[in-house]
Amino acid sequence: MSASVVVVSYRPGDWLEPCLRSVVEQADEVILVDNGSAGAGASSIGHRLGAKVLRSATNIGFARAVNLGARSASGELLALLNDDATAGPGWLRAAAEVLKWPDVAAVGPKVVLAQPYREVLLGDQTWKAPGDDRPLGRQVRSVLVDGKEALGTAEGPGIHRIEADGQGDCWRWTAGGAPWYVPVGQATSEIFIDGEPAPPGPLVRLVNTAGAFLDSRGYAGDIGFGAPDDGRFDLGAQRFALSGVAIVTRAATWHAIGPFAARFFAYYEDVDWCWRANLAGLELRYDPAATVVHRRSASSGGEHVPRVRVMAERNRTLALVRNGPPNLVAKALYDRYRNGPDGGVRAGIARRLPWALWTRATLMRRWQLSPGQVWDRWAGAEVGWGDGPAGEDAYLN
């Protein structure tokens, strides 16, 4: 089957050229949507590498830009690839094999993080604080990598989310003896944890996503995120959703389900689309036969940017409003109103709520399953991948 790949670029860096080069030989058509890049820098790179370039004078948002590229695509397969990702040579060929099955709406590859990570095993004793169900080890306040603070970018099951006291002081609790991973620039990088040298550990490659799960609150999350790529995700499976970092569908399926929700601007548009595919009675498949390497949040800055966090929180709720069971939609809206988080989330939901409710009524015409049936199948479904140390297959040195 002929294939078109759509790449959206707003702030091109040294990642865009490798991205385009990774698909120009395996796709029949590469469409670069220059989403208002400064000086049309993305357009220049796209023209030089032989892509079909569509230029927007301003940033119209990732979702709308993808839709623009999809409307221009001529291939039987429609693939989306982030501009900070590079596709393995067999990506489209492997996807085409899976998409021969008519009940499959889309397929996603294994996506791994480009930056190497050093495994940290501290062997902390686990304890629990009153009113806190988390396993706790020690309180870590600083992780220096070659003299630069990396506390906020450590990943893995052995460390909890960052916390702060409102006075500028922040920390992270370790989760007992489970491993965690620190991003490093090179194999010889020096790591100090609260002023002490970190114990030696292997340099490893981590998983970004092996598909997505749906939790009991209606939030989606990446399966395998922060786990070592040591074979734990080498079996294909049906998933609730797939990441828009790299996803392939049939053009006919894309048009049948409908485009990304442009009002989302960015974040959760991929989950919303996959949710609609589930409601249409179709499957989403994770296929590790191909691997995509992702320089996560290279162009957007990621969840550490306040505006990104606001859009993600807003769109999580809007996706539930458009696709979830009515009683849970009402509960989610009430919880948002009473408990936040805010910083613009409540106002963003309020402005888009009439649109979300109106589009839900329109989308219902395509449902083959009820929201309750999809929810019962996926919400809170058991998803686990182990929290043991990295196996040798993940080692980079």
| pLDDT per residue as tens digits for the range 141-153 | 999 999 999 999 9
Query: In terms of domains, do 214 and 292 share one?
Result: yes
Q: Alpha carbon of 324 to those of 18, 257, 330, 341, 342: distances in Å?
A: 38, 16, 10, 20, 22
Same domain, 224 and 269: yes
Which CATH number is 241's domain given? Answer: 3.90.550.10
Last residue of a domain, which of 298, 319, 348? Answer: 298
Contacts of 46 (CB under 8 A, 6+ apart): 9, 20, 32, 34, 52, 53
**Shared domain check, 162 and 29:** no
Residue 195 confidence (pLDDT) above 80: yes
Q: Does the residue 275 lie in any domain? A: yes
Same domain, 171 and 194: yes
Cβ–Cβ under 8 Å, residues 184 and 118: yes
- 24 and 88 part of one domain: yes
Considering the domain architecture, whether residues 69 and 190 belong to the same structural domain is answered as: no
Question: Which of 268, 276, 273, 264 is CA-nearest to residue 348?
Answer: 264
Q: What is the mean pLDDT of the chain?
A: 94
Q: What is the pLDDT of residue 382?
A: 81
* Chain segment 336-354, per-residue pLDDT in tens: 877 766 778 888 999 999 9
Please tell me the predicted confidence (pLDDT) of residue 124. Answer: 83
Confidence bin at 303 (pLDDT 50/70/90): low
E strand or H helix at 56, and its extent? Answer: strand 52-56
| Among candidate residues 204, 239, 268, the one where a domain is terminated | 204
Per the domain annotation, does 381 fall within a domain? no
Residues 162 and 20 in one domain: no
Domain closes at, from 204, 234, 249: 204
Owning domain of residue 347: 307-366
Rounded mean pLDDT of 257-265?
Answer: 97
Nearest to 340 by CA among 319, 310, 320: 310
Mean pLDDT, residues 383-392: 90
Q: Helix or strand or coil: residue 264?
A: helix
H-only helix segments in the chain: 16-24, 41-48, 62-72, 91-98, 251-257, 269-279, 306-323, 326-339, 345-363, 371-378
pTM for this prediction: 0.94
- Per-residue pLDDT tens digits for 53-77: 999 999 999 999 999 999 999 999 9
Three-state secondary structure call for residue 143: strand
CA 95 to chain centroid: 19
Say if 393 falls within a structural domain: no
19-45 b/e with 16+ CB inside 10 Å = b?
Answer: bbebbeebbebbbbbbbbbeebebbeb
Same domain, 18 and 102: yes
Q: For 84-115, how does the pLDDT look when each residue is reduced to its tens digit (9 = 90+)?
A: 999 999 999 999 999 999 999 999 999 999 99
- Residue 263, classified by CB atoms within 10 Å of its CB into exposed (0-12), middle (13-18) or buried (19+), is middle
Q: Which of 111, 201, 85 is nearest to 154 (CA)?
A: 201
Q: Over pLDDT 70: what percentage of the chain?
A: 97
Is residue 79 within 8 Å of 92, Cβ to Cβ? yes
Q: How many CA atoms lie within 13 A of 316 on its CB side?
A: 21
| Count of domains forming the chain | 3
